[in-house]
Amino acid sequence: MTSVAADPSAAGPRIELARYHLSFLRIDEAMAELRMGLGWSPDNPVLLGLWGYAARSAALRPGEEELAGDLVGGLEAYRGKSADGWYWLAQALAASGRDARARAALGQAQRLAPEFGRAAYEARLRGVL
């Protein structure tokens, strides 16, 4: 696999590093990798999916409401053109109890990729494109 040092624009190493950091709940480090990767590949479905998944996971953990709010806010501000980003934003918003905004985000995901459903988004998050 290409390393971040060898090719800073490669999404694969950033994705793996973000997954690694997320597995240890190192959110700041994971977000740094995701933001760097999105700088090179702004609509990468896995990078956006991991960001939304991290926000959703934080929203579901007791005591992590502030972190979840920060992650959701960042993803909302990002406003990517990827259905994956909108889908996972919808999941994070729903987990945070923001149902109206979740429905709006899910609607945007469906407009961008009407052929995708939950299984497709989950497969894309795992990198099975």
Read off the pTM: 0.83
Mean pLDDT of 86-102: 93
| Mean of pLDDT values over 65-91 | 87
Helix/strand/coil percent split, the chain, to 5 = 70, 0, 30
- 36 domain-assigned: yes
Report yes or no on 53 lying in a domain: yes
Assess if residue 6 is contained within a domain.
Answer: no
- Domain-located, residue 5: no
Task: Please count the structural domains in the chain.
Answer: 1
In a domain, 104, yes or no: yes
Q: Are 15 and 35 in contact (CB under 8 A)?
A: no
HSE-up (13 A, CA, CB side) for residue 64: 17
- Domain assignment present for residue 70? The answer is yes
Tokens 């490669």 found at: 10
Give the confidence band of 9 by pLDDT, cuts at 50, 70, 90: confident
Round to whole Å and give the CA distance between 108 and 105. Answer: 5
Distance CA 9, CA 88 (A): 23
Q: Is residue 25 part of a domain?
A: yes
Q: What is the pLDDT of residues 31-59, one digit of tens each?
A: 899 999 999 988 888 898 899 889 988 89
The CATH number for 86's domain is 1.25.40
Contact 78, 89 (CB under 8 A): no
**pLDDT given for residue 1 in this prediction:** 52
Query: Domain range for residue 21?
Result: 11-125
Q: What is the pLDDT averaged over residues 50-70? A: 89
Q: Which two tokens stand for residue 15?
A: 């994705």
Task: Spell 91-104 as b/e; 16+ CB within 10 A means b.
Answer: bbbbbbebeebbee
- Residue 125, pLDDT score: 83
Q: How long a stretch of residues is the chain? A: 129
The distance in angstroms from the start CA to the end CA of the chain is 18
> Is position 66 within any domain?
yes
